[in-house]
Amino acid sequence: MTQLSKEHVKLIQAKNFGFLATANKDGSPQVSPVWIDTDGEFLLINTAIGRVKERNTRRDPRVGIAIADQSDPYSWILVRGRVTEWIEGPEAEAHIDKLSKKYTGRAKFVKNDPNERRVIFKILPEKIGDRS
């Protein structure tokens, strides 16, 4: 396992977007901008159940994530790893509210669909490259 450095954690905890790459069924890449979080060891990404990235990670848990510092895009990290857990239910719903506060300033995430259910991808970093 590769560990996140203090600088990596600081970049992730700031209001920077991640770009998550997953593999489609035919092997082609699928990339999505995402809100990102960390517990210091794992990367945490929250999405709606049923989206392409969620279906892709359940079939093939290998992912790549690029994160650039919005104030200096030449300072970035690239993480390759795998989803080790999909967390649903109240924990995922509370987590999207936490991310909403971080990225929009709103305490509650505004859903496009009131029936939408959320899931957290818990990603174990296996390789980290950076330019910081």
Reported as a single tens digit per residue, the pLDDT across 44-81 is 999 999 999 999 999 999 999 999 999 999 999 999 99
Query: Which pTM was predicted?
Result: 0.94
What's the total number of domains in the chain?
1
Chain-centroid distance, C-alpha 42: 10
pLDDT of 113: 86
Place of tokens 């809100």: 35
Q: 10 Å Cβ neighbour count for 45?
A: 26
Q: Is the pLDDT of residue 1 over 90?
A: no
Residue 85 lies in a domain: yes
Q: What is the mean pLDDT of the chain?
A: 95
Q: Is the pLDDT of residue 132 over 80?
A: no
pLDDT of 123: 98
Residue 1 lies in a domain: no
Q: What is the CATH number of the domain that holds 109?
A: 2.30.110.10
Residue 43 lies in a domain: yes
Phi, psi values for residue 94, rounded to 5°: -65, -35
What is the domain extent for residue 22? 6-131
Cα first-last separation, the chain: 21
